Structure 1
């Protein structure tokens, strides 16, 4: 009886609805104030929650969810230190980072791979606030760090879990099931990487049999769900930026966080792992695994496929046997225009509106992370600053994106360009928000950038988009997506030509799975 009374009603409900009990999740299984990486794929694009105001004062951790590139050079070679379980590849600093090449002659059998990325090509500067992180040019520093944490040796970590009162963080569904006679959540097979100790984005299933290392592909709530300061199930591997956000916003004990650099190959428990830029949100990664038997797996996490990925040296030179594919928009009706075309449309609409009504407040809806290019494009075109509340500014300033952080301002009255949570883009909320600035502005022009606004009838003819208007508020839904369109998925699959494809989104329905497999087979035949 005491055991049951020690559990709150909220925790009981959270478990009953298959949600991680560390937080009270909303109906779409996202944390309070957290907005998904795109609209939730299983609800047809409903907003995660409705927020009464974007300016409420609460704790940073809570308010962060209301808010809101890494770049890289791929520099692996075959000289790995096999004396340790985790090593990183040394770099050749004499090559131009914007080249993609294999210089096998100069290195006499040691293949040095160089690769630029989308953000590198766009001129983003590398984050200089990583002095306390492992150097990207020194394997010695990383080796020292790994020796102190020893993530490959599970007994110390497992001992810590066993001694903890809660049995580990992130919600132990097994313990709840035992208490209440319910079945624990089972980790889906598509989150497990066969022949390895890794799972990807699997933090709310308690301890997972056979898993001794956890990978977080990016910092979106539907992927990190289950992580909290109570986490103690094992080491978490993610990009440096993602690790920084996990520590800052979720208070996960740093002893469990192992940041890795884009494009570097790490040897972890005999498995070679490399993270590649995913063109999704800042810090998002594709994860490449090479097993001792030579088999290669690629898990895309969430990504938007691009032509640049077709020249990633690792993907060009190592055949992918199994592809775990983000299939959020694996439907022929989704054929998005390019990001650049959507940005041009948004800028054009904004300029035309301001010419007709100069006293217009421009608002861009965004998730906790992602959509930054939309409001940055407007900022650059108009020559104005970007207003975001203190919590969002803190997150944006942590990205190491100088062009963005240098254009932020702390006073909403100093600029006509504001960023709000995408779920706040509702007529009544925006009308109330405008009242704060009633002496400056008389109308609102808002943009809701998400792939769920795409219409087959409009396709790439963005000038046909009709906004929704009510009184002094006008809202444009624009198909700016950070997930791959159907055609982009096809091109990516035909480039890789994997032996097997495992979809990771919209897999709960047998008909959906069969339909996607038919697409995959058609793509591989026609490629």
Structure 2
């Protein structure tokens, strides 16, 4: 579930709530439903999105008018005029699904990269703004990174997309007599697999446009030449949930009864491995129901996240997937701390200062509240981050920073005042 952008920013990304509706500009990274919750009720012009994302969104919500959107292309930089100062937005390929984009914002608020959902492979990283990479002697830094940390807790190696697709191809080659290849590729983001299978085997793929309208449209927009409306085609897209295993087991049993080669069922997905059901995602495997499992991920592995962070060197990182916190990543532990921010200056510090002022009731700030509670309890250790005694604004601030709260520390206002005094020589 995407998170709200800080109040000090004039735009929202992938959130469609009453609060985000009060923003003046809105950005949609891609057309997965978890990034469109509340879209019909709370979206307002302008919504910036790629043409494919716009088309897929309108397919899911026919009542939405085309005039709501402003189309932006990957690789394009647009200037957004705003009452508080214009800012630029560069659209970058997110390597996630058709139409998926990352947005790079530059303005008086500093520079911010919002990845949406992404797979930060080496090829994807090469397309990021080079001036913010870790070049020798470069002092330019990325201020704020909103990062997809979906698999940030997964300790296993996740193969590249190309490697996973080759495993699918290998599985099909090993079953030359299978009458039908059932591909559980109905999820937006699996199109790369289907395109490569068409190139390898020269066969068109049947996608039922009634059952899988989004898959059919995304392929119609990106690779219409691979589609067929012939339901007898050997390659067919099937649904992954809820009965793939039962369907595979029944089909294999029926083929054995008839003493015929059985159909092949292939499920490309990383979720089974990420949640710990399997601990080896390096190769092809067959589960108890007869489904061939391939670890295909449209999200970054932990290794890819760490590598990207070393290249981008952001001053502050926020996970867009709260279940997996950015604070668990090694780079964030070592380079993103409140103490480091307290000694710096610039747009990112001002933004965090505004967040604190809006979220915490005067006169106590985040750490002032923590210290007061600690004094009240006679020095007893207090779990600040999860105290139910704090007001909702304070808890929202803590969650938005995604970092353990150190204790004891001066209040946020004291840190800010101290930083100003040190720079002015007082």
TM-score by length of 2: 0.67
Question: 1:385 and 2:204 equivalent?
Answer: yes
Residue 346 of structure 1, aligned match among 168, 185, 189: 168
| Cα distance change, pair 239–434 in 1 and its aligned pair in 2 (3 A) | farther
Aligned equivalents of 2:30, 2:44: Cα separation in 1: 19
The residue that corresponds to 1:272 in the other structure is 88
- CA contact 2:265–2:291 (8 Å) conserved in 1: yes
Aligned equivalents of 2:162, 2:226: Cα separation in 1: 20
Q: CA deviation at 1:267?
A: 1.7
Residue 466 of structure 1, aligned match among 281, 285, 289: 285
Residue 321 of structure 1, aligned match among 118, 123, 143: 143
Residue 217 of structure 1, aligned match among 29, 38, 50: 29
Q: CA deviation at 1:515?
A: 5.1
Question: 1:453 and 2:272 equivalent?
Answer: yes
- CA contact 1:206–1:233 (8 Å) conserved in 2: no
- CA contact 2:147–2:319 (8 Å) conserved in 1: yes
Question: 1:261 and 2:83 equivalent?
Answer: no
Largest Rg, 1 or 2: 2
Residue 406 of structure 1, aligned match among 217, 221, 225: 225
**CA-to-partner distance for each residue in 1:75-126, whole Å, 9 max, x for gaps?**
xxxxxxxxxxxxxxxxxxxxxxxxxxxxxxxxxxxxxxxxxxxxxxxxxxxx
Count of aligned pairs between the two proteins: 321
Structure 1: give runs of 5+ residues left out of the alignment: 1-40, 42-187
Aligned CA RMSD, in angstroms, stands at 3.3
Q: CA deviation at 1:259?
A: 1.3
The residue that corresponds to 2:292 in the other structure is 476
Aligned equivalents of 1:400, 1:237: Cα separation in 2: 22
Aligned equivalents of 1:302, 1:486: Cα separation in 2: 14
- CA contact 1:322–1:498 (8 Å) conserved in 2: yes
The residue that corresponds to 1:307 in the other structure is 122
- CA contact 1:453–1:478 (8 Å) conserved in 2: no
**CA-to-partner distance for each residue in 1:455-514, whole Å, 9 max, x for gaps?**
775353x1xx430244xxx20121100000010001111110000011111x25xxx548
The residue that corresponds to 1:191 in the other structure is 4
Q: CA deviation at 1:410?
A: 0.7
| Cα distance change, pair 407–234 in 1 and its aligned pair in 2 (3 A) | closer
Q: 1:43-442 residue pairs with structure 2 within 5 A?
A: 190-193=3-6, 195-203=8-16, 205-208=17-20, 210-228=22-40, 233-251=44-62, 252-268=64-80, 269=82, 270-292=86-108, 295-312=110-127, 314-317=129-132, 319-354=141-176, 358-391=177-210, 395=214, 398-399=217-218, 404-413=223-232, 415-424=233-242, 426-430=244-248
| Cα distance change, pair 319–401 in 1 and its aligned pair in 2 (3 A) | farther
TM-score by length of 1: 0.55
| Cα distance change, pair 391–209 in 1 and its aligned pair in 2 (3 A) | closer
Structure 2: give runs of 5+ residues left out of the alignment: 133-139, 338-426
Q: CA deviation at 1:403?
A: 7.5
Q: CA deviation at 1:210?
A: 4.7
Aligned equivalents of 2:44, 2:69: Cα separation in 1: 12
- CA contact 1:196–1:271 (8 Å) conserved in 2: no
Q: CA deviation at 1:227?
A: 2.0
| Cα distance change, pair 281–347 in 1 and its aligned pair in 2 (3 A) | same
SS of the aligned residue for 1:360 comes to coil
| Cα distance change, pair 194–291 in 1 and its aligned pair in 2 (3 A) | farther
SS of the aligned residue for 1:477 comes to strand
| Cα distance change, pair 313–423 in 1 and its aligned pair in 2 (3 A) | closer
